[in-house]
């Protein structure tokens, strides 16, 4: 059974449509702004000039569309929708009310998400540490969770695929060797958040350089290089298109990756710098100081507070040491690729948010300054981006070589 959720949006749309008038053109244009449906409503502005009959039909279809698009399933219906995937494995759901995180399980397979803070919000659905889907997120309505139809469809398709692959794949894995299983590449900013922007005259052309675009290009090429070398590792991206995620969502995604005791995840966030002084240039790599790390052990272990504190301190120490080794390895990679003509600003430590909340060795790389002309030339040329990508790749590869030997 499908449950249709009537939301406040529907009522405000109804009210808006009641006010709808054919007479002044300006009014049609100004009043009919409705988030996410601008295209349809542009159509409505034109309908203003048609007959009332056409108008009524159009209003009716818009209302129908709105009800349909906001339909969502209850938890029970969602679990029922998953049950046909495998006759032997039942679907289960765990909900963390504090973190507002949910996990769907079918056997060893799972899909993790963070609930929407507002209805209609999209975000990630992480399947088995290996695939990230962007989908409308489940949301809380009067204390009950609702699962948008598109979300349930995505989950169903992903789980179906996983079961099919598992049936085809019988390769045994080495369970004891210590290894990096997952690399998360975070391209900074995105969507409505462009990051740093500057304009320069490059090859006598006025060129605008935007951080979100440079870092996405670099991240995508880095992913491809890493996937070629490490087909057995999971190479995830927090975003692979021009899309906006909050820092909390990026950290949630990183922390949603599940690893065994002998496995590790590394997290690398890619950014570009900006300085008020146009002469400031060069690359730098940040890691987190241990004092800024939050409680790393999750509360579902029943350790006493003292033991938790000690274990946390040990984990902090380990993550910090690994983060420093990773940062230095990437700095060496950059120095080898770019030579001494591009200055290294070195390794730096700070309480940077994404890294702070990630339970893994993590670094943030500033590729260069968009505000500096020479750096901008490097970061906008194909050859320059290739060098930067190779530098990051070599840095990560060297770290893995050390870690896994």
Residues 332-351 contacting Zn ion, CB under 5 A: none
By the rule CB under 5 A, 188 interacts with Zn ion: yes
Nearer to Zn ion, 154 or 238 (CB): 238
Q: Is 239 in the site for Zn ion (CB under 5 A)?
A: no
How far is residue 295's CA from residue 92's CA, in Å, rounded to a whole number? 28
Residue 253 CB, shortest distance to Zn ion, in Å, is 18
Question: 82 vs 364, which CB is nearer to Zn ion?
Answer: 364
195 is a site residue for Zn ion (CB under 5 A): yes
CA atoms of 196 and 242, how far apart (whole Å): 15
Which residue matches tokens 């990560």? 396
Report the distance separating Cα 322 and Cα 316, nearest Å: 10
Residue closer to Zn ion by CB (options 5, 334) is 334
* 293 near Zn ion (CB under 5 A): no
Stretch that binds Zn ion, among 47-55, 103-111, 227-235, 268-276 (CB under 5 A): 268-276
Residue 190's region, left for phi above 0, alpha for psi from -120 to 50, else beta, is left
Q: How far is the CB of 218 from Zn ion (least distance, A)?
A: 12
Region binding Zn ion by CB under 5 A among candidate stretches 6-14, 190-198, 222-230, 251-259? 190-198
Tell me how far apart the alpha carbons of residues 37 and 44 are, in angstroms, rounded to a whole number. 11
Q: Which of 234, 239, 271, 390 binds Zn ion (CB under 5 A)?
A: 271
How many residues in the shown chain lie near Zn ion by CB under 5 A? Answer: 3
Sign, CA torsion 207/213/214/218: negative
Q: How near is the Cβ of 67 to Zn ion at its closest, in Å?
A: 40
Give residue 128's Cα distance to chain centre. 15
Residue 152 or 196 with smaller CB distance to Zn ion: 196
Rule CB under 5 A: say whether 217 interacts with Zn ion.
no
Closest among 279, 231, 251 to 364, alpha carbons compared: 251
Question: Nearest CA to 260 among 177, 162, 172?
Answer: 177
User: Which one, 223 or 271, has the nearer CB to Zn ion?
Assistant: 271
By Cβ distance, which residue is nearest to Zn ion? 271
Q: What is the DSSP letter of 87?
A: S
CB 201: neighbour CB atoms within 10 A?
Answer: 9
Give me the sheet containing 362-369, strands edge to edge. 234-237, 179-187, 263-273, 362-369, 283-288, 344-350
**Which region, judged by CB under 5 A, interacts with Zn ion, from 126-134, 271-279, 305-313, 348-356?**
271-279
Question: Judged by CB, which is closer to Zn ion: 214, or 391?
Answer: 214
Would you tell me which residues interact with Zn ion (CB under 5 A)? 188, 195, 271
């Amino acid at each position: 059974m499908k449950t249709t959720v009537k939301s406040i949006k529907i009522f405000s749309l109804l009210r808006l449509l009641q006010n709808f008038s054919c007479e002044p053109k300006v009014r049609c244009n100004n009043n009919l702004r409705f988030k996410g449906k601008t295209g349809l409503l542009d159509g409505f502005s034109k309908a203003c000039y048609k007959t009332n009959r056409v108008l009524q039909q159009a209003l009716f279809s818009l209302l129908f569309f709105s009800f349909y698009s906001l339909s969502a399933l209850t938890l029970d219906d969602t679990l029922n929708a998953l049950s046909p995937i495998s006759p032997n494995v039942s679907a289960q759901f765990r909900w963390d009310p504090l973190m507002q995180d949910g996990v769907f399980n079918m056997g060893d397979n799972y899909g993790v998400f963070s609930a929407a803070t507002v209805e209609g919000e999209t975000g990630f659905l992480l399947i088995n540490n290996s695939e990230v889907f962007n989908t409308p997120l489940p949301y809380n309505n009067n204390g009950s969770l609702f699962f948008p139809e598109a979300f349930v469809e995505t989950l169903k398709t992903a789980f179906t695929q996983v079961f099919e692959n598992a049936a085809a794949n019988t390769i045994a894995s080495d369970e004891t060797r210590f290894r990096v299983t997952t690399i998360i590449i975070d391209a900074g900013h995105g969507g409505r958040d462009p990051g740093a922007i500057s304009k320069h005259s490059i090859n006598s052309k006025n060129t605008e350089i935007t951080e979100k675009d440079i870092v996405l290009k670099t991240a995508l090429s880095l992913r491809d290089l890493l996937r070629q070398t490490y087909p057995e590792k999971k190479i995830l991206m927090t975003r692979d298109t021009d899309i906006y995620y909050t820092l909390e969502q990026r950290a949630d995604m990183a922390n949603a990756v599940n690893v065994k005791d002998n496995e590790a995840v590394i997290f690398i966030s890619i950014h570009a710098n900006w300085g008020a002084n146009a002469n400031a240039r060069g690359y730098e790599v940040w890691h987190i100081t241990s004092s800024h790390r939050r409680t790393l052990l999750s509360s579902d272990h029943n350790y006493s507070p003292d033991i938790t504190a000690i274990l946390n301190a040990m984990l902090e120490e380990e993550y910090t040491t690994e983060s420093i080794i990773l940062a230095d390895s990437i700095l060496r990679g950059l120095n080898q690729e770019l030579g001494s003509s591009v200055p290294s600003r070195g390794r730096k430590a700070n309480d940077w948010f994404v890294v702070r909340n990630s339970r893994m060795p993590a670094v943030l790389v500033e590729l260069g300054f968009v505000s500096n002309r020479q750096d901008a030339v490097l970061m906008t040329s194909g050859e320059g981006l290739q060098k930067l990508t190779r530098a990051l790749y070599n840095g990560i590869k060297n770290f893995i070589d050390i870690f896994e030997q």
